[in-house]
């Protein structure tokens, strides 16, 4: 399920997501958005609506200590808060001493990160990113549009439209937010 697509323009992050909830062969058009802004961060999640609900409603975003880089803050302070929340609320699983959560994008201070199932935090060089089952379609579209002088929201819309066209688990309406 899902396609989350994001574009970074300077300090601005534009992120969009679809409305599909998929369970087996069932498709639900969800009204609870996969993309949201919480304090000074923008999030877009895949994997599970439970994880998204925890991030949206229960994550206490830690203070960014003075003198700590954005990269260190996200990898140390922020991700520990996420890991602890997902463990405490029964979402994260431990198998053979390996913790597993879910995948989501987060934008903070003009940087765009991808958090993987194993809680690694990736900072990509590209100014665009995607996740979910429609990821490859969205990434191909964003790559093609990367140098075009069109607004980021339009790029995100096109990436989501392409993902919907090619993926059975991506559906309108799309929600696009900006931070």
Residue extents of the structural domains in the chain: 4-178
- Is residue 152 over pLDDT 90? yes
How far apart CA 30 and CA 166 sit, in angstroms, is 20
- Is residue 174 over pLDDT 90? yes
pLDDT digits (tens, 9 = 90+) for 6-54: 999 999 999 999 999 998 889 999 999 999 999 999 999 998 999 999 9
Q: Fold for domain 4-178?
A: 3.60.20
DSSP secondary structure, 31-94, as one string: SS-SEEEETTEEEEE-S-HHHHHHHHHT--PPP--TT--HHHIIIIIIHHHHHHHHHHTT-SEE
Percent of the chain with pLDDT over 90: 92
Q: Return mean pLDDT, the chain.
A: 96
3-state secondary structure (DSSP) of residue 116: coil
Angle at 175 between CA 32 and CA 170, to 5 degrees: 80
- Is residue 1 over pLDDT 80? no
How far apart CA 179 and CA 14 sit, in angstroms, is 6
How far apart CA 66 and CA 73 sit, in angstroms, is 10
Q: What is the mean pLDDT of residues 102-124?
A: 97
């Amino acid at each position: 399920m899902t396609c989350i697509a994001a574009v970074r323009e300077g300090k601005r992050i534009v992120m969009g997501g679809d409305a599909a909830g998929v369970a087996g062969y069932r498709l639900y058009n969800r009204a609870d958005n996969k993309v949201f802004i919480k304090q000074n961060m923008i999030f877009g999640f895949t994997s599970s609506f439970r994880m998204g609900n925890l991030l949206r409603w229960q994550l206490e975003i830690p203070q960014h200590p003075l003198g700590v880089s954005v990269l260190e803050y996200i990898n140390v302070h922020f991700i520990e808060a996420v890991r602890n929340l997902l463990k405490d609320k029964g979402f994260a699983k431990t198998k053979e001493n390996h913790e597993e959560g879910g995948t989501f994008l987060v934008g903070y201070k003009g940087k765009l990160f991808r958090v993987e199932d194993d809680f690694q935090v990736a900072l990509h060089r590209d100014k665009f990113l995607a996740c979910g089952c429609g990821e490859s379609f969205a990434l191909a579209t964003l790559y093609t549009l990367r140098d075009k002088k069109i607004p980021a929201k339009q790029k995100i819309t096109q990436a989501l439209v392409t993902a919907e066209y090619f993926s059975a688990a991506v559906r309108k309406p799309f929600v696009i937010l900006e931070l």
